[in-house]
Structure 1
Amino acid sequence: MTSNVKSPHAHMNKLSGKTKFIEDMNLPGQLIGGILRSPHPHANIVRIDTTKAKAIDGVVAVITAADVPHPPFGPTRFKDWNILAEERVLFIGDEVAAVAAESKAALEAALEAIEVEYEVLPAIFETEDAMLEDAPVLHSSAPDNRPMHLQLERGDVKVGKEKAAVVRGGTYVINPIYQGHLEPIAAIASWSEEDGVTLWAGSHIPYLARETYAAAFGLPEDKVRIIIPPIGGSFGAKYVLKMHLIACALSKAAARPVKIVLNRTEDMISAHPRVPLKMEVEIGADEEGRFVYKDATVYANAGARIYWSPNIVATACTRPDGVYHFQNVRAEGHLCYTNISPTTCMRGFGNAEMLFAVESIIDELAEALEMDPSEIRMKNIVREKDVTIHGYQLDSCKLDQCIEKVKEISGWERKKDLPPNRGLGMALGNHVSGFRGIDPRFEGSTAVITLSSAGELIVQTGEIELGQGMTQTYATIAAKELGISADQILVKSGDTERNPFGIGTLASRSTVMGGNAVHLAAKEVKRKMLELVKETTGEDGVFCYEGIQVNDRVLTLEELAASYRGLHAGDQLTVRATYSPDTDRPDKTYYGHPSPNYPFTAHVAEVEVDPDTGRVKLVGYWAVHDSGTIINEVGAKSQVYGAVAQGIGWVTMEELKVKEGRVQNPTIMDYRMPGAADIPPIEIAFIDGSDPHGPFGAKSVGEVAIDPVPGAIANAIAQAIGKRGRALPLNPEAVWRLANDYE
């Protein structure tokens, strides 16, 4: 049930519908689980009566907070989680009770029969209200409702402001959006008093999730096993989830396996969307267009509990400063509790959000200085061998080439001659290839390669396949080092008991971190296999497509496996390699070199706006990337296509509409995401180049590809209508209001 990929058959299984996701899986004796959720954004729980629910035929277990442990726990240093709500509910959808039953009918009847009496309390929904002196306190650990307050300054912003000849800026608003993964949130839990709990669930950080779940139940980590079946998309949603814990608690209470599958509406009302941000950003430039300072204040809505929102705030306040030399920067971040569903990460992870503001302001500075937007960018960008203001060491950076190439393929020079209601917009982006600050104890990755008796090379990793093609990339890396067919390589991951420890798939780390580990392991297994050939034949061998060439004979991998087992008491040839990058954990001021390398990109969007309706049509899109050596070009291009499509939805149509804590559009019918007709022709190019710290010179591509999209589209719309939108989404109503000066 783990994620095993043998190129290319796994892709064919998905295309043919043979891949089994959690919803397709069942265990003997399995029960159906469900969750009773709060109808109020903030209320005391006065009374819960489960008597009637327990009496329903087919109901096996009904649990409330009284039936589960209550240690302080959570996936970050903010230990504000619970398994089920204790004294208060903190958002509409908060988990109050849970049921395990033999049938769906019994489950639904039991959930309906649970009696809960609430005392409704005043609620807060916006960060500004959360920080008011008389605001209700959501967590005693943060009496001002502000669990995180970030402040940093490099250089002297006051001096920078004195040097500025032109200043532009404003307030930029980032909309909460739903990750929109095709596979629903689901889990199966099986509790054994002897062995602990086994959880089948979608998570791309299973080892960190295991640590959180063990803490929740007071178990040692080796009593929690997490198995990851194929994941049908995540984009940040499937990290660590309370419904996983509830499935485990139900299984313990029922003494049987329990499966919970959230329907789309339930998922969306309790979803953990992209963190809503309000950003006050200002940038100054001198007469020549050199940036002299950047000043930013970020207000972030964490919702009712902390998921990964602190990381989003820190990223928004720092990472975009790695694209340009601002010389002096100041940032302040306020993360606040409110009575909405807890918010979390989504592709771009705070970087894309701040770049929306930065790239918009840069276009305004260019206009004020009568400069081409590409020229002012080229004047200020970071370059190879630079060290950024926050300490990022750029051993490779071809951002200048990205700008020149995207101008060429988009026909940038026609920008000044476009007809009315048409616009071309440019934006730049950067990202990381892993991040030292995720877990201070370890950063890197381990790979194990085994030569099986069947003649397959089995690669095991702790990184997780999300559908992004990681396992295909690992097979390609190993095959390239060995000089054999990728069809002879099987990649396994997603079992905390069997596979090596891994930080997981986040921070765009899988290709560089996991890929480097696979590359090291492949080198070692290659050395051992050639030693084996020398030992058994007395001759030197050379790897070839079918196996190892020895004179005029080819030894197959199956023959080599048999030889090794015969010489080593039946053991299989196995190697283990760990890649640990020479990076720094950022200090208390967020200074450091946290990633082995950094990808860069330049995008151009072309739009046509209907002035009568405000509808934005993407006419064309061009994306040029510096992602080092491209290991799998089809996969890399697919990442860019998907990121641009996702960004188009984010900027032009998507928004999880929440009013007084209640999601107004909790279905896919009401939550509009882009379809094929919304996506323009997209031209993609990669700049040739190798980074010294990536496998075969590779850098990441998955997240950096969305980072410039909001800025590029917003800048194109601004040219088309002559007005600038500073709040996402720039949907037809918003664009029409801008174009017609209608507040």
Structure 2
Amino acid sequence: MKTQLSKSPADLQAKLEGQTRYVHDMRLPGQLVGKILRSPHPHARIVRLDVSRARAIKGVVAVLTGEDVPHHTYGPTKFKDWNILARDRVLFIGDEIAAVAAETDAAAKQAIAAIEVEYEELPGVFDPEEAMQPGAPVLHETIAGDNRPMRIALERGDVERHKQEAAVVKSGRYRSNRIYQGHLEPIGAIASWSDEEGITIWAPSHIPYRARETYAAGFGLPEDKVRIVVPPIGGSFGSKYVLKVHVIAAALAMAARRPVKIIMDRYEDMVTAHPRVPLTFDLEIGADREGNLLYKDVVVYADAGARVYWSPNVIATACTRPDNIYRFQSAKSEGHLCYTNNSPTTCMRGFGNAEMLFAVESVIDEIALELGMDPAELRLRNIVRPGERTIHGYRLDTCLLEECIDKVKAISGWERRADLPPYRGMGIALANHVSGFRAIDPRFDGSTAVLRLKGDGSLELETGEIELGQGMSLSYARIAAQVLGVPEGSILVKSGDTGRYPFGIGTLASRSTVMGGNAAKLAAEALQRRLVSLACEVLGKGASLEDGRIRYGEETYPLSEAAAWHRARHAGEELTVRETYVPDTEMPDATYYGHPSPNYPFAAHVAEVEVDPDTGRTRVVGYWAVHDSGTIIHETMAKGQVYGAVAQGIGWVTMEDLIVEQGRVKNPSMMDYRMPGARDIPNIEIAFLEGEDPNGPLGAKSLGEVALDPVPGAIANAIAHATGKRGYELPLSAERVWRAIHST
């Protein structure tokens, strides 16, 4: 099976021609079809489970229930609330009860239909605030008797004093909704088992090493008995980190002793979707009469669903990261992560930051309106500056946020804002993010790269980070090529196999460019030194590496010649270097204070909207995005990140909503879940303010998530400007906007 290679022109052509082999396209010898029986109830006791008829069906090789699999405590976070299959209770609609492996798809479906289950329905709880109340059904007694596995309480400065001093106070209850990640490639996996090698899982995971650790714990195996191979990934946006379907495929493969493939159809994927974590914010911000922001006070409620995936990181981000844009003199955050009988929620691009910024940027606009100030000017008065340490300890070695605001005002024609016709409005919003986050894995947050000189003079760069289509492989090749002076097309980037390539935390927290890129740069510099040393050994002192060739006097030699020199002196071995980048970061303390990232990107966006007062429909008619992401390594790929993020944000704010009632998804199809099309996207003008950051490879910062973070706030503020009415709940759908316009 092929692992990931760099996104070369040949690879791009293969994608365009449909030749790329995703997990759905792969087939192992003897492969079986896997299916999962899922609960139709949000909360119920399993009274009787009979699989005898399923096991008797021709072509069925294995049928598993909770009694047939290990019962180790495991999960991807410190809250170990996962199982492989349900035993006594089901906790959400879609909870996994049994699984089958059969020779054909038809036999597997027939077996699933033949399984008999009797349930005793139990009361459910579907709202985080209700879940905390006395008497609410408890989902995981040993973890959280009050259904609250995680609580955050932090305060910087004296919020109560600043509340007394504030001349202007604005507040509100804001809600961000469930969003389906909308990946083109359906969720799926192939698993195999052998007594010698253990479990091998082919799965499109962002974080294969963390997945390996989680799955090994679930089966009670050492980590070296679990191997994760990552095929090309057909979209994710946070949905494909760690998934129960991977574990169930592995359990079936162990039972059948043959490879098993499980591919979920779109309906199953959406019914059991692990969407963006819905958050509720009770937010208050105060300022003095001159517009200086004094304090921010927020209480956050997060719906983890029935099990914990990555929601703890989402609520922690929401409670802290947006505070680092402004010079709040004090800040207080209280966060409640709660179990409910909804499908488990997980991360999505923006990771809690975009959600909180929807609320924060809305309230800041309300303060500007009260003070009679231009919203951009109020922000300029309060933003952080380069060289500062933020309220939560972020060290800003570089920060071009002021320049971002000035630039986005200029290119958007911000001065037009006061003279727009009725029901047309412009809104501004700011954002920050990280380039990796120390607390993602407290044990290690760097990256390792292996660079190898091949016999023909080409190079292979191995990394533990994962290509998602974001251009990571191209960036790494370009970084190494610039150091060595070779064509970037001569460098092949490989990743996505825990059995072959270096350890990596994976692609999350916008870490791949800075973490993996710094490792690639270090490896290229190490190889450069080794090549010069080898050339001096062979040719004599004074040899050098120039423009990708060895130079000695007037003579030059290709790298293929250097490869031959090394192999002749080292028993045929290839010249290989291995380097690890360890960032100069600080693990946040118990109060979330620290310097968790090597550097921090910033952005300022402006949206222009037109609202139809008769229908409430919002049309985004213009969008401008200015970014401080350090050196832009590949401008085409960087612009692609921003275009995609803005399109994703337009969908989120104006139309997308995974509707869940009493634990049941009401719109589980792409026909009923509206996502934006080409006609929904306006002209988007993008500008990058380049300035080298000392901690990034070639001076780069991250871009992928900060490009989405300001979009909800910018569009929400534009709608409020156009209508004179503030929207407090995403999406700001036509119905909600119409009701706001026509409310008294």
TM-score computed with the length of structure 2 as normaliser: 0.99
After TM superposition, the structure 1 stretch with the greater mean CA deviation from structure 2, 535-544 or 429-438, is: 535-544
Could you list the structure 1 runs, at least 4 aligned residues long, displaced by more than 6 angstroms after superposition: none
The CA deviation string for residues 41-68 of structure 1, in whole angstroms up to 9 with x for no partner, is: 0000011100000000010000000110
Could you tell me which residue of structure 1 aligns to residue 114 of structure 2?
113
Could you tell me which residue of structure 1 aligns to residue 47 of structure 2?
46
Could you tell me which residue of structure 1 aligns to residue 69 of structure 2?
68
The CA deviation string for residues 135-171 of structure 1, in whole angstroms up to 9 with x for no partner, is: 0110012110111111000001001101100001100
The CA deviation string for residues 504-533 of structure 1, in whole angstroms up to 9 with x for no partner, is: 000000000000000000000011112222
Could you tell me which residue of structure 2 aligns to residue 177 of structure 1?
179
Does the 8 A contact of 1:76 with 1:306 survive in 2? Answer: yes
The CA deviation string for residues 333-362 of structure 1, in whole angstroms up to 9 with x for no partner, is: 011100010001000000010000000001
> How far did 1:557 drift?
2.1
> How far did 1:543 drift?
4.2
State how far apart, in whole Å, the 1-side matches of 2:554 and 2:644 are: 47
State how far apart, in whole Å, the 2-side matches of 1:687 and 1:541 are: 39
> How far did 1:237 drift?
0.4
Report the AA paired with residue 286 of structure 2. G
Report the AA paired with residue 538 of structure 2. T
Could you tell me which residue of structure 2 aligns to residue 372 of structure 1?
374
> How far did 1:8 drift?
3.1
State how far apart, in whole Å, the 2-side matches of 1:708 and 1:445 are: 28
State how far apart, in whole Å, the 2-side matches of 1:68 and 1:322 are: 46
The CA deviation string for residues 669-727 of structure 1, in whole angstroms up to 9 with x for no partner, is: 11111111110000000112011100011000000000000000000000111100010
Does the 8 A contact of 1:281 with 1:294 survive in 2? Answer: yes
Report the AA paired with residue 248 of structure 1. A
1:131 maps onto 2:132 in alignment:
yes
> How far did 1:194 drift?
2.1
Counterpart mapping for 1:328-347 below 5 A: 328-347=330-349
Could you tell me which residue of structure 2 aligns to residue 58 of structure 1?
59
> How far did 1:544 drift?
5.0
State how far apart, in whole Å, the 2-side matches of 1:540 and 1:458 are: 27
The CA deviation string for residues 314-339 of structure 1, in whole angstroms up to 9 with x for no partner, is: 10000000100111100000111000
State how far apart, in whole Å, the 2-side matches of 1:595 and 1:659 are: 39
TM-score computed with the length of structure 1 as normaliser: 0.99
Report the AA paired with residue 573 of structure 1. L
Counterpart selection for 1:727 from 701, 726, 729: 729
Report the AA paired with residue 453 of structure 1. G
Could you tell me which residue of structure 1 aligns to residue 17 of structure 2?
16
Could you tell me which residue of structure 1 aligns to residue 157 of structure 2?
155
> How far did 1:255 drift?
0.7
Counterpart mapping for 1:480-519 below 5 A: 480-519=482-521
Could you tell me which residue of structure 2 aligns to residue 437 of structure 1?
439
1:244 maps onto 2:257 in alignment:
no
State how far apart, in whole Å, the 2-side matches of 1:540 and 1:46 are: 81
Counterpart selection for 2:170 from 165, 168, 171: 168
State how far apart, in whole Å, the 2-side matches of 1:27 and 1:388 are: 53
State how far apart, in whole Å, the 1-side matches of 2:116 and 2:690 are: 64
Unaligned runs of 5+ in 1: none
The CA deviation string for residues 616-650 of structure 1, in whole angstroms up to 9 with x for no partner, is: 11110000000011111111111111110000111
Compared with structure 1, are the counterparts of its residues 652 and 172 closer, same or farther at alpha carbon in structure 2 (3 Å cutoff)? same
Could you tell me which residue of structure 2 aligns to residue 532 of structure 1?
534
State how far apart, in whole Å, the 2-side matches of 1:551 and 1:712 are: 60
Counterpart mapping for 1:290-439 below 5 A: 290-439=292-441
The CA deviation string for residues 391-426 of structure 1, in whole angstroms up to 9 with x for no partner, is: 000000000000000000000001000011100000
- SS in structure 1 opposite 2:441? coil
Report the AA paired with residue 130 of structure 2. D
Does the 8 A contact of 2:86 with 2:96 survive in 1? Answer: yes
Report the AA paired with residue 48 of structure 2. R
Counterpart mapping for 1:444-455 below 5 A: 444-455=446-457
After TM superposition, the structure 1 stretch with the greater mean CA deviation from structure 2, 558-567 or 205-214, is: 558-567
State how far apart, in whole Å, the 2-side matches of 1:359 and 1:412 are: 17
The CA deviation string for residues 238-268 of structure 1, in whole angstroms up to 9 with x for no partner, is: 0000000000000011110000000011011
State how far apart, in whole Å, the 1-side matches of 2:612 and 2:74 are: 51
State how far apart, in whole Å, the 2-side matches of 1:405 and 1:30 are: 56
Does the 8 A contact of 2:428 with 2:717 survive in 1? Answer: yes
Report the AA paired with residue 79 of structure 1. K
Counterpart mapping for 1:664-683 below 5 A: 664-683=666-685
Does the 8 A contact of 2:392 with 2:592 survive in 1? Answer: yes
Report the AA paired with residue 569 of structure 1. A
State how far apart, in whole Å, the 1-side matches of 2:175 and 2:627 are: 27
- SS in structure 2 opposite 1:4? coil
State how far apart, in whole Å, the 2-side matches of 1:508 and 1:541 are: 40
State how far apart, in whole Å, the 2-side matches of 1:71 and 1:474 are: 39
Identity %: 67
Does the 8 A contact of 1:7 with 1:486 survive in 2? Answer: no
Could you tell me which residue of structure 2 aligns to residue 196 of structure 1?
198
Does the 8 A contact of 1:38 with 1:94 survive in 2? Answer: yes
Could you tell me which residue of structure 1 aligns to residue 595 of structure 2?
593
Unaligned runs of 5+ in 2: none
State how far apart, in whole Å, the 1-side matches of 2:312 and 2:53 are: 42
> How far did 1:559 drift?
2.0
> How far did 1:131 drift?
1.1
> How far did 1:547 drift?
3.4
> How far did 1:7 drift?
2.9
Does the 8 A contact of 2:535 with 2:544 survive in 1? Answer: no
> How far did 1:561 drift?
1.1
State how far apart, in whole Å, the 2-side matches of 1:505 and 1:432 are: 13
- SS in structure 2 opposite 1:12? helix
State how far apart, in whole Å, the 2-side matches of 1:39 and 1:184 are: 21
Could you tell me which residue of structure 2 aligns to residue 571 of structure 1?
573
Report the AA paired with residue 701 of structure 1. L
Does the 8 A contact of 2:484 with 2:548 survive in 1? Answer: no
- SS in structure 1 opposite 2:252? helix
After TM superposition, the structure 1 stretch with the greater mean CA deviation from structure 2, 181-190 or 5-14, is: 5-14
Report the AA paired with residue 279 of structure 2. L
State how far apart, in whole Å, the 2-side matches of 1:286 and 1:280 are: 21
Could you tell me which residue of structure 2 aligns to residue 651 of structure 1?
653
Could you tell me which residue of structure 2 aligns to residue 36 of structure 1?
37
- SS in structure 2 opposite 1:179? coil
State how far apart, in whole Å, the 2-side matches of 1:542 and 1:634 are: 33
Does the 8 A contact of 1:484 with 1:544 survive in 2? Answer: no
1:257 maps onto 2:259 in alignment:
yes
> How far did 1:128 drift?
1.6
> How far did 1:568 drift?
1.1
State how far apart, in whole Å, the 1-side matches of 2:741 and 2:551 are: 70
> How far did 1:651 drift?
0.4
Report the AA paired with residue 613 of structure 1. T
1:224 maps onto 2:232 in alignment:
no
- SS in structure 2 opposite 1:20? coil
Does the 8 A contact of 1:6 with 1:487 survive in 2? Answer: no
Does the 8 A contact of 2:7 with 2:471 survive in 1? Answer: no
State how far apart, in whole Å, the 2-side matches of 1:241 and 1:147 are: 20
State how far apart, in whole Å, the 2-side matches of 1:555 and 1:29 are: 50
Report the AA paired with residue 329 of structure 2. Q
> How far did 1:110 drift?
0.2
> How far did 1:460 drift?
0.4
Count matched residues.
Answer: 742
Does the 8 A contact of 1:546 with 1:554 survive in 2? Answer: no
> How far did 1:6 drift?
5.6
State how far apart, in whole Å, the 2-side matches of 1:328 and 1:8 are: 51
1:602 maps onto 2:604 in alignment:
yes
1:639 maps onto 2:641 in alignment:
yes
- SS in structure 2 opposite 1:47? strand
> How far did 1:455 drift?
1.9
> How far did 1:553 drift?
4.1
> How far did 1:556 drift?
2.0
